[in-house]
Amino acid sequence: MSTNEIKKLLGNKKLLIGTDRALKNLKNSKLEKVFLALNCEPRTAEDIKHYAGLCSTKVVQLDISNDELGAVCKKPFSVSVIGILR
């Protein structure tokens, strides 16, 4: 997924930012797809992949770091996980 696509989803209010929010929505099967930053913590990635597997949600590894992902999402902090709402 390109940075332009992420910015477009931000404008449509379909993008969810953060590990906790992603896990909560994954448990309720409300996410269509989850994206992980290149340097996402292994334990976080493992948890996301586990819950995504339970509800058949696709997990995609991005080729940008969490600092870059935070900047793309217009946040003053790093972002490791983003999700697209169904």
- For the chain, what are the domain ranges? 3-85
Among 42, 48, 62, 60, smallest CA distance to 2 is for 62
DSSP-derived letter for residue 58 is: E
d(CA 70, CA 60) in angstroms, rounded, equals 17
pLDDT in tens, the chain (86 residues): 778 888 888 888 889 999 999 999 999 999 999 999 999 999 999 999 999 999 999 999 999 999 999 999 999 999 999 999 98
Burial class (CB in 10 A: 0-12, 13-18, 19+), 85: middle
What's the pLDDT score for residue 3?
Answer: 81
pLDDT at 6: 85
The predicted pLDDT at position 28 comes to 94
The pLDDT of residue 11: 82
CATH of region 3-85: 3.30.1330.30
